[in-house]
Structures are given as structure tokens and as C-alpha cells.
Amino acid sequence: MSVVFEEVRLSLPHIEVAAHLYGHENGQPVIALHGWLDNAATFSRLAPLLDGLRIVALDLPGHGHSEHRPRGAAYNLWDYAHDVLQTAEQFGWQRFSLLGHSMGAIVAVLLAGAMPERVERLALIDGVIPFTGEAEGAPQKLGEALRALLKVEKKRKPVYATFEQAVAARMKGVGAVSWEAAELLAQRGLMPVPGGYTWRTDPRLMLPSPLRLSLAHAQAFIQAVACPTSLVLAEQGLLVDADLRERVHALPFELHHLAGGHHLHLDDQAGAAAVAAVFNPFFAAAAS
């Protein structure tokens, strides 16, 4: 697959991040946010199919070629929202749209709800609501996170003897993907080490969350979203739980059900084309 993009590094006030740039510089400004443990390559099939956009596909901190957060810092969803906002500032974008997959979609919703004056449109792929937790479980969750944090320095990332072994492992990871999709993610996500290859991702990304938003918190962010929003739901994706589906269908968003798994936009070209067929008219409406 031949993809035309520009590789850039952005020196934000608090961290340096990497990104892929797609489209003409005068296109509609869009920041694209990948899922947990993925990277900017997740948009390598979809981004070239989206018309009239200037897409900044980020490697979020701790992922891909972006820097890891310093010791003592965390990878909370709201921290990513700050990264996105600083990226927009770097490009001088007072208004911009967000294209998000999975965790990236959740971050997009949080930012759009918190700062509706900055976000023009939301295009979401198989993600919208974070895992929630209620008050009674908060002490246990924080305890689990703190115990894991004490042990993280002793953990070693897996080393794969060959690139192909790493690709095979990614196929079976969270949100199982096709070989082609895993290969694209691995090409950006792996680095050579003695004995083979390991992932560039920060091991702290695997730590349990110290605190989760309550369902009431999550719903408040959803209700605060003021911009047009289009949500693609994968028929074999991660949002298949009956209660969760019912909650998603009650959202005030434009919903589209498409065949495919959680990474339908990356698994094959047909899935990417199906998602593009949804999002192209959605973004075109902003330009009309």
C-alpha cells in the first residue's frame, strides 16, 4: 500500500509529539486520534480517502514516535485532551474538527464537551463513552493503580525474535486486527532491541486507571457536545454489550452501523472505503 503523507514532529510546550499530515494545507483542519496502544498509522488507509481535509494524525504521547511523559506524570484521558488542544494551538487553529477511533474517540468527546467553542465537528469510530466507575469502587481502583505503579519499573516489555512474531502478537491484542492492519501498526510501533523487536509504547500505558469518571460524568460530557457528531459503530466491534448499545443508541449523535471489527477502518481497504463514505458527506456539509 502506497500512502502519501508528511512526517512531522511538534514541540508542544510540555512534550514533543510525532504526527502524519494528510491533505492540502488549506483543507478543513482535523486532528485524528488513535486508540489505546495504537499509533498514527491507524489512519493510513482512511485518511487518503477523506476529501478536502488537512489531517494531523497524532502519535499520542507514549505511543508511536512521540515522547513518553516524564516520571511522575500520568496518561489520563484529560491529559490527552490537553495534548490535542496544544496541537491545535501549534497550527494556529481556533476551530477544528476531531476524527477519533476507540480511546481517541473518547478523548475527542471529552474535549468537545469541555471546550465546545473550539470543536467544529466530531467523526467517531467505534468509541464514544469511557469505561465508567462509581464512587463506592474508587478506593479499590486507586489502590490497584498505586500497587501497579510501584511495580512498573521492574516490568520488562516483551521481545519478539522477528518482526512477523510481533505482528502475530498484535493481531490478537485488544481489538483484534487483520494481518495487514497489525503490520501497519507494527511498522510504526516497533523498535529494534537486542534479541529482536519490542514496542515503543510506554509501559505505564498498561497500568490500571487510578480513577474513572462516573456514568453521570460521562453523560454530562456527552450533553455538553454542541457540534455535529457522526459515530460509526462496528457490527463486530467493542461496543456490542446490550446495555452499552442501548446507551449509545440514546445519544444525540448521527449513528451508522457498518460491517467489520473494531479496526474496520484499517483492517482492509473495503472497510476504510465504507467509513470514508460516511465521513466525506459529513465533513462536506461543513464546507457548504
Tens of pLDDT, residue by residue over 18-47, are 999 999 999 999 999 999 999 999 999 999
Candidates 102, 214, 230, 288; catalytic one: 102
Has residue 287 got a pLDDT over 80? no
End-to-end CA distance of the chain: 32
Starting at the earlier edge strand, list the strands of the sheet with 6-11: 6-11, 16-22, 53-58, 28-33, 96-101, 119-125, 229-236, 254-261
Give the residue among 113, 106, 124, 120 at the shortest CA–CA distance from 220.
113
- Could you tell me where the DSSP H helices lie in the chain? 77-91, 103-114, 138-151, 163-171, 179-189, 215-224, 242-249, 264-267, 269-287
Neighbours of 23 (CB within 10 A): 21
Has residue 188 got a pLDDT over 70? yes
Measured CA to CA, the distance from residue 100 to residue 46 in angstroms comes to 12
146-151: long-range contacts (C-beta < 8 A, 24 or more apart)? 146/210, 148/207, 148/208, 149/204, 149/207
Known catalytic membership, residue 11: no
Measured CA to CA, the distance from residue 237 to residue 124 in angstroms comes to 13
Q: How far is CA 122 from CA 31, 111, 225, in A?
A: 10, 10, 9
Give the residue among 261, 189, 166, 165 at the shortest CA–CA distance from 38.
189
| pLDDT band at residue 2 using 50, 70 and 90 as cut-offs | low
Residue ranges of domains in the chain: 6-133+214-287
Domain 6-133+214-287 class? alpha beta
Among 6-20, 112-126, 160-174, 231-245, which is the least confidently predicted range? 231-245
Residue type, 142: L
Whole-number pLDDT of residue 131: 87
